[in-house]
Amino acid sequence: MPKIAVTRWIPDEAVEVLRSLGEVEVSRADRPLTPGELGEFVAGASAVVSMLHDRIDSTVVDAAGPALKVVANVAVGYDNMDVPALAERGVVVTNTPGVLTDSTADLTFALLLALTRRVGEGERLVRARRPWSFHLGFLLGSALQGKTLGIVGLGEIGRAVAGRAAAFGMRIVYSGRSRKPDFAGEFVPFEELLGRADFVSLHCPLTPETRHLIDAGALRAMKTGAYLVNTTRGPVVDETALADALEAGEIAGAALDVFEAEPDVEPRLLDREDVVLTPHLGSATVETRTAMAVLAARNVASVLTGAEPLTEVKP
């Protein structure tokens, strides 16, 4: 029976799909495997179900051996995959788009509200049992209604965020590789978006072009009262430059669900009241994470049974 290597825990519903195909081995390590451990773990596998923290390249494929047919990444992004190298060796790569759109858009808006309404500050104050009393100037935040949301990358998640923003009475501008004729928001160049938006929300994939897209220059181009939200990939934002910009008062605040060197965070961001930080929770609902894992398992099933994969990543 083919060996299916799963690099970290996945929901039982997905494991059951895989067990109908072969022998399933799930890593018992409650952490990312080191490159050496990963190579040993996938040796002899016909399929690998990987997580976003697993770097899958030619070295891993060589360690797996000639039986390897498919790597199913339990994530939308696939910047952890050397897709061309895998394609050269005849290995199919799949991802899990679509199923996490709403949960990630929901978290994006949760971060926007937490940031502008100072939810974290208020909760920390109450939990610390510090004295407080209501008055008209107490923990004042900022309203969303009538403000401009700038969306960088209008894919499925960006569109879902725009829909939520419209319900809050926000204006939408967006930038990306091309104008979307079926979308009501205003398409503008990236530099113009930075200068116009009261909130900049990042939804672009991590590529060589978008790494440190938000750098010192981009942060200086934003309004001094603007907020930055990142729920896509950590390296899209230069965290050192972000800390510098916040210290200099160049922007009003930031909310990050992803980080450059995850799980490590730029230390200067940790104690700032104008920063909201969450540990990569964009897709973290029971329903979404289960759907992601099941889609990955179904991709494995398709490839191992000779059918077309459901969501293949092309080189």
CATH at residue 293: 3.40.50.720
State the residue range of the domain holding 12. 3-99+286-304
Residue in 262, 268, 272, 312 annotated catalytic:
262
User: Comparing C-alpha atoms, which of 256, 252, 262, 220 is closest to residue 237?
Assistant: 256
Which string of b and e fits 300-309 if b means at least 16 CB within 10 Å? Answer: bbbbbeeeeb
Active site residue 262: yes
- In this structure, are 70 and 89 located in the same domain? yes
- In this structure, are 143 and 291 located in the same domain? no
Active site residue 280: yes
The residue type at 25: E
- In this structure, are 83 and 118 located in the same domain? no
Question: Please, which residues bridge with residue 45 across strands?
Answer: 3
**pLDDT value at residue 12:** 97
- In this structure, are 140 and 89 located in the same domain? no
- In this structure, are 263 and 293 located in the same domain? no
**pLDDT value at residue 246:** 98
- In this structure, are 67 and 114 located in the same domain? no
**pLDDT value at residue 198:** 98
- In this structure, are 60 and 107 located in the same domain? no
- In this structure, are 58 and 117 located in the same domain? no
**pLDDT value at residue 180:** 94
Strands (E), the chain: 3-6, 23-26, 45-50, 70-73, 92-94, 148-152, 171-175, 186-187, 199-202, 227-230, 253-256, 275-277
- In this structure, are 144 and 201 located in the same domain? yes
**pLDDT value at residue 118:** 97
Please check whether residue 314 lies inside any domain of the structure.
no
Please check whether residue 309 lies inside any domain of the structure.
no
User: Comparing C-alpha atoms, which of 291, 296, 313, 309 is closest to residue 100?
Assistant: 291
Which pair of structure tokens corresponds to residue 272? 């700032």
Active site residue 31: no
Instruction: Give the Å distances, CA to CA, from 161 to 86, 106, 166, 235.
Output: 33, 8, 9, 21
Residue in 118, 159, 280, 289 annotated catalytic:
280
Alpha carbons 186 and 77: distance in angstroms, whole number = 26
Q: Global pTM?
A: 0.93
Residue in 233, 239, 289, 298 annotated catalytic:
233
What's CA 96's distance to the chain center, in Å?
A: 12
- In this structure, are 248 and 119 located in the same domain? yes
- In this structure, are 193 and 71 located in the same domain? no
Alpha carbons 287 and 133: distance in angstroms, whole number = 40
Give me the average pLDDT of each 10-residue run along the chain (315 residues): 97 98 96 97 98 96 97 96 96 97 98 97 96 96 97 97 98 95 95 98 96 98 98 98 98 98 97 97 98 98 98 95
- In this structure, are 38 and 164 located in the same domain? no
The residue type at 291: A
Please check whether residue 248 lies inside any domain of the structure.
yes
SS3 of residue 98 by DSSP: coil
**How many domains, the chain?**
2
**pLDDT value at residue 251:** 98
